[in-house]
Amino acid sequence: MKNEMFVEFASVSENESFARVTVASFVAQLDPTMDELTEIKTVVSEAVTNAIIHGYNNEPGHYVSISCVLYEDEVEVTIKDNGKRH
């Protein structure tokens, strides 16, 4: 099995929960344990929050993207912003 999704959203803090729930819903196809699902949601939440705060300095008008690929028994999540580099 291989399945993919891509989503892009405005870089506002209100969208952090949207990103977390979206990835968790997509990953549910692999039937993860509650601990695994909680860990994925935490990682997504932290990465999106970092992109918004550190990549864009909380400035509106930018976007964060998430791509997610499911394989037989693993998931690959990529979170990107085009903000400033440190």
The 10s digit of each residue's pLDDT in 25-57 is: 999 999 999 999 999 999 999 999 999 988 888
Query: Which residues does 15 contact at the CB level (< 8 Å), separation at least 6?
Result: 9, 48, 64
Would residue 86 count as lying in a domain?
no
The number of folded domains in the chain is 1
Residues 6+ apart with CB under 8 A from 69: 2, 3, 4, 75, 76
Is the predicted pLDDT of residue 67 greater than 90, yes or no? yes
What domain range is 23 assigned to? 3-81
Q: Is residue 16 part of a domain?
A: yes
Residue 69 belongs to domain with CATH number:
3.30.565.10
* Residue 75: inside a domain: yes
**pTM: predicted TM-score of the whole model, two decimal places:** 0.88
